[in-house]
């Protein structure tokens, strides 16, 4: 079987929403009006922590596809002031979020037990307010949300190969920058962090053979598999991966912005930042390369995400192990593309409705588990009861 990124086609039912005249779609999608529609037409469950479980109206997969969003649209009206990562949410919200993640991932693995038949993933997207709202590639909803997705591997194997030069698969050059110049620095920095449940893996152990992805990203095996996700220590280590990434990203781009800049304020791992980054000639010389290009190339400088942007996920590899990875940068690419899956969405209500009953049945099943665990109350919509 030839390995390579795949492009699949996923039909959806057109969303009955009109964007007000003179307003860009991604500006409207940040509005309370749009989030009201998301809740009342696609909402599955909501809880007092403002976590909303919903069906993806523009889904990645019609096999299984749902999301949890930290819906701050009514309590934080400024889209640029909303939390965009777990480290920014209240402790009680993060606690509930972790429990919801564990239950949904466990359900997916029960429902799809064979790694040779299905690709299972759950991931978090950073929706940073780091670009103007109207810039290309800016996320449409500036609120933290998770994705839970299952792809049928037979359908993936029959899909056309995606363009390997697609910027969504290469992270717009920033991924190549990290890999070409700082791969060892990046790996050494993460290796200096203290993990008990997470264990760094080799690229071959983490890669999906069908797509050949992920490529060049640090990956950790979750020792203990699904049982480990029931341990709060795992979620603390999952957060450590994110905190380490944030430290690396902030430190690097502070050096790009200002030569010999001091250590950023409030870093999570100051000793590692000092020893592994700020005293590393490769790290600092790479910052100089980027800084010098920014000075002479306005388009390049404008493309930089100066604040941390990431996509972090848990997925099942070909051997059935659960793997954690995190992307170095994001230009608006879908989280599935970290695993080499490009989704082409097409409006086709008739095709979508063929898979809708089975999809909704699974979403309602997982909702019942969350309700039983006291993680929220069901929502009634035109398509299902509360």
Helix locations, the chain, DSSP H: 25-28, 32-42, 91-111, 153-158, 167-170, 174-191, 203-206, 232-257, 270-272, 281-296, 298-303, 349-372
Neighbour count for residue 136 (Cβ, 10 Å): 9
Could you give phi then psi for residue 185, rounded to 5 degrees? -60, -45
**Residue 2's pLDDT is what?**
86
Q: What is residue 48's DSSP assignment?
A: T
Please report the pLDDT score of residue 147 as a whole number: 94
| pTM exceeding the 0.85 threshold for the entire prediction | yes
Residue partners of 260: CB distance under 8 A and separation at least 6: none
- pLDDT for position 174: 47
pLDDT score of 176: 60
CA–CA dist 42, 55 (Å, integer) = 5
Burial 264-289 (b: 16+ CB within 10 A, else e): beebbbeebbeebbbebeebbebbee
pLDDT in tens, the chain (386 residues): 789 999 999 999 988 777 888 877 767 776 777 788 888 899 999 999 999 999 998 899 999 999 999 988 888 887 778 888 888 899 999 999 999 999 999 999 999 999 999 999 999 877 655 555 455 545 556 778 899 999 999 999 999 999 877 777 765 454 566 667 787 898 899 989 999 999 999 878 899 999 999 887 889 999 999 999 999 999 999 999 999 999 999 999 999 999 999 999 999 999 999 999 999 999 999 999 999 999 999 888 877 778 787 889 999 999 999 999 988 655 556 789 889 999 999 999 999 999 999 999 999 999 999 999 999 999 999 999 99
Query: How much is the CA Rg of the chain, to the nearest whole Å?
Result: 20
**What pLDDT does 332 receive?**
54
* pLDDT at residue number 52: 96
* 3-class DSSP assignment, residue 67: strand
């Amino acid at each position: 079987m030839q390995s390579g990124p795949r492009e699949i086609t996923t039909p959806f039912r057109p969303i009955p929403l009109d964007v007000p005249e003179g307003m860009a779609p991604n500006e409207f999608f940040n509005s309370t009006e749009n989030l009201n529609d998301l809740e009342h037409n696609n909402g599955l469950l909501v809880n007092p922590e403002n976590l909303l479980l919903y069906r993806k109206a523009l889904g990645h997969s019609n096999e299984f596809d749902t999301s949890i969003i930290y819906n701050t649209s009514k309590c934080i009206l400024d889209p640029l002031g909303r939390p965009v990562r777990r480290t920014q949410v209240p402790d009680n919200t993060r606690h509930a979020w972790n429990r919801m993640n564990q239950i949904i991932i466990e359900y997916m693995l029960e429902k799809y037990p064979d790694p040779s038949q299905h690709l299972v993933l759950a991931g978090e997207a950073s929706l940073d307010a780091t670009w103007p709202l109207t810039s290309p590639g800016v996320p449409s909803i500036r609120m933290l949300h998770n994705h839970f997705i299952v792809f049928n591997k037979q359908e993936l194997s029959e899909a056309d190969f995606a363009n390997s030069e697609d910027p969504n698969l290469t992270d717009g050059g920033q991924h190549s920058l990290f890999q070409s110049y700082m791969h060892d620095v990046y790996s050494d920095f993460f290796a200096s962090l203290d993990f008990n449940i997470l264990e760094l893996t080799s690229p071959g152990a983490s890669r999906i053979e069908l797509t050949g992805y992920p490529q060049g990203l640090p990956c950790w095996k979750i020792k203990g598999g699904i049982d480990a996700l029931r341990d709060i220590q795992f979620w603390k280590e999952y957060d450590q991966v994110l905190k380490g990434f944030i430290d690396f990203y902030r430190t690097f781009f502070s050096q790009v912005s200002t030569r010999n800049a001091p250590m950023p304020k409030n870093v999570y791992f100051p000793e590692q930042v000092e020893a592994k980054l700020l005293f590393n000639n490769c790290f600092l010389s790479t910052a100089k390369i980027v800084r010098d290009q920014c000075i002479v190339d306005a388009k390049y400088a404008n493309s930089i995400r100066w604040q941390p942007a990431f996509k972090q996920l848990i997925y099942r590899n070909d051997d059935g192990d659960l793997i954690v990875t995190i992307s170095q940068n994001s230009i608006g690419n879908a989280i599935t593309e970290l695993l080499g899956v490009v989704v082409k969405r097409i409006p086709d209500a008739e095709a979508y409705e063929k898979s809708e009953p089975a999809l909704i049945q699974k979403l309602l099943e997982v909702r019942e588990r969350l309700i039983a665990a006291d993680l929220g109350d069901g929502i009634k919509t035109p398509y299902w009861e509360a």
